[in-house]
Chains A and B, each alone.
Chain A
Amino acid sequence: MTYIILSLAVFTLGLIAVYAYFIIKNEFGISKYEKHAKKKIDEHMKRVINSSEAVLNESTEKMNRLLSQTNHFKGTIESQAKMIFEDFKDRYVASLNSELASVEKQYEEAFYQNMKDLRKKLDGRFKEQMDKTDELVEVFKKTQFENVTRELEAYRKQQEEKSVQELQIIFTKVLDDVVKKSLTKEDQKRLIWSSLESIKKDFFSGKK
């Protein structure tokens, strides 16, 4: 038993020793290679970066040059376009103005002609209306004058008749009173007889 246990212990230790050996061996071996590789890579990378930077700088420079050229062209084009536009604009505006002036003139002439015609027509109609108005005024004046005269005459007549009637009423009343008071019954009878005798003989037969 002891033998077995010792054998197992020796065997286990042997295994541990082997395992440790490989671990240590692997650890130190990789590190060395990696360092070497890293160094190589770094060097390569450095070269690549340097090369890229140089290319980049060159490209940037070229870009800047192109940009500068572009800006220059752009400015030139813009100024030329501006000149062309201004020139075109001036010519177009001048042409428009001329056309407008021509149209305006035409309209103006047509307008004045129309106005002239209208004025002529209106003058004719105005004169006609004035003539008619004058006629109407004359008729109106005459009629009004006649009406007023007639009304005044009627009013005067009415007033005259009224006054006469009033006077008649007063006189009649006064005379009636005087006659009534002064006439005796005998006078009345005499009046009746004299009235009766004053009737002409043929009066009734003539009227019959």
Chain B
Amino acid sequence: MNDVLSFFEGLILVSDREKLIDQIEMVRREIFAVSNSETLEQTLKKQLSESRAKEFFLYLSKYKKNIYDGHIIEEILESLRGKAMDLDVVRLSLAIDMSRSEISELHTKLTEQLNQRVLLDVHIEPSLLGGLRLEYNGVYLDLSLSTRIKGMIQPSR
């Protein structure tokens, strides 16, 4: 996993993974479009941000193989795609909308608690009033304010 750390550091939401998958697909297509006059890095820079293009180039270079061999690159990209798809998803329901940086903090905290890298599938549900509700690997945890209020009102059985 360490070799893909740079890629996955920015992956917080499920939508981020979808974006990465799109980029992998794009790189896969561009590999075959590399002309003799330019390097792979230059080709990728045309389509991706400079940092992302560098990341891809460095990742591919780590294998110390002929990175101009299309088939080898395809295998590497497919492996990267598979690793991204293997990431677990935590469904997180919140009462309010939060900024990307706030969500990122929550993600970091959850990653710590779960002791593994996960992706967040964030849903805004105002009916929760406050707090959160999350679902991970079949485990359901409701820490919403609405449920706490209901619990206060509901008589004990």
Contacts and interface: CB of A to CB of B under 8 A. Distances in A.
Interface in A192-206: 192, 195-199, 201, 203-205
A168 interface: yes
Contacts of B113: 196, 199, 201, 203-204
Contacts, number: 72
Contacts of B154: 164, 168
B131 to A, nearest CB: 4
Task: Kindly state the interface size class of chain B when it binds its partner.
Answer: 20 to 34
Contacts of B115: 205
A61 to B, nearest CB: 141
B106 interface: yes
B130 A192 contact: yes
Contacts of B2: none
Interface string A158-170: 0000001001100
Nearest to A164: B155
A189 interface: yes
A208 interface: yes
Contacts of B144: 195
A1 B149 CA distance: 203
Given A195-B131, A196-B132, A179 B96 contact: no
B1 interface: no
A176 B131 contact: no
Contacts of B145: 179, 191
Contacts of A204: 113-114, 136-137, 139
A191 B131 contact: yes
B150 interface: yes
B129 A189 contact: no
Nearest to B112: A201
B132 A175 contact: no
Given A171-B153, A196-B106, A187 B139 contact: no
Nearest to B133: A195
Nearest to A196: B109
A183 B150 contact: no
A203 B149 CA distance: 23
11 contacts: A164-B154, A168-B150, A172-B150, A176-B146, A180-B129, A185-B96, A189-B96, A191-B145, A205-B114, A207-B138, A208-B137
Interface of B: 94-96, 98, 102, 106, 109-110, 113-115, 129-132, 136-139, 141, 143-146, 149-150, 153-155
The 4 closest A-B pairs by CB, nearest first: A195-B143, A191-B130, A207-B139, A195-B131
Given A167-B153, A188-B95, A205-B115, 6 more contacts: A168-B153, A172-B150, A179-B130, A189-B98, A191-B145, A198-B143
